[in-house]
Amino acid sequence: MKWIVGILAATLALAQSPKPPAFEVVAVKLANSVRGGIGAAPGGRFSGNGITVVALMAFAYEVREEQISGGPKWLATDPYDIVGKADAPVTSPDQMRQLFQSLLADRFQLVFHEETRELPVYALTVAKGGSKMQQTPEGSCQAIDFNHPPPRPARGAPRLCGALSRSMGNATRQTMDGTGIGISKPAGGTVGLTDQLSEILGRTVIDKTGLTGIFDFHLEWTPDAVTAAPSSPGQLDPTGPSILAALQEQLGLKLVADKGPVRILAIDRVARPADN
């Protein structure tokens, strides 16, 4: 009798669990060039424009491309255009990622397993003299609504919590601006400062600041051979502050070289999708 009750309870719990969002209708085809954009439009429509499978995996599973191991070369070179409509409202960044996880499994037959490897990392700490991070004032930004995305930035448009922008086209200066950004990604959030620093530096950054909440910030630095965008024209300026120096001077934060556990996605199987 206990066994029957247990089965019924498990079945009921499964039936009541929210179904992960998936694409109701989706088109996938090879693109002409790598553009690497993922976007949302009204009515539950989502797209990936000129995006590689490796870049799509990095977005869907919140890793850097360097954390994806194995698989054929075309995963990192062949761009795809993806247009789809979700079968249910998508209300959070995590659900948006689940949407593309289901796409990777269904259309690309992706199977992988996770490993943890001890690799070089950076520990993000508070610098001597204290943090200069500015807490986001309560009510000063609004949550992103994927079912009703805002129009393109315009004067007077509301500030969006979790919004982060980077300027990378200048060889002598790069900037990063954040609104309502956590040091690490907040629950249900879009991104954290450590995520962006990991991407810029090509090495996992671990939060050891002890800072909580969300912050507004502006960071400006001179790129070096590590942080320069591949498309940056001209000579690198050796006289400007590096990103490590800028973090300490402008935000009161410090990066310390360390070793730590890094999440790796090791690909077991993947296939090209049929064009449609």
Strands lying side by side in the sheet with 134-135 = 134-135, 215-221, 174-181, 163-167
- DSSP code at position 67: G
DSSP character for 66? G
Long-range Cβ pairs for the range 152-158 (8 Å, 24+): none
d(CA 258, CA 160): 34
What's the pLDDT at 12?
38
Tokens matching residue 25: 């209708």
Residue 109: predicted pLDDT:
96
Q: How many CB atoms lie within 10 A of CB 145?
A: 15
Which pLDDT value is given to residue 250?
A: 97
Task: Judge contact between 222 and 240, C-beta under 8 A.
Answer: yes
pLDDT at 187: 61
- As a whole number of angstroms, the distance between CA 62 and CA 97 comes to 8
- Residues in the chain predicted with pLDDT less than 50, given as ranges, are 1-17, 229-234
For 13-51, b/e burial (b = at least 16 CB within 10 A) is eeeeeeeebbbeebebeebeebeeebebeeebbbbbbbb
Q: What is the helix (H) or strand (E) element at residue 11, kind and residue range?
A: helix 2-16
Continuous H helices in 22-140: 53-61, 74-77, 93-107
Residue 145 has a pLDDT of 67
Number of other CB atoms surrounding residue 263 within 10 Å: 14
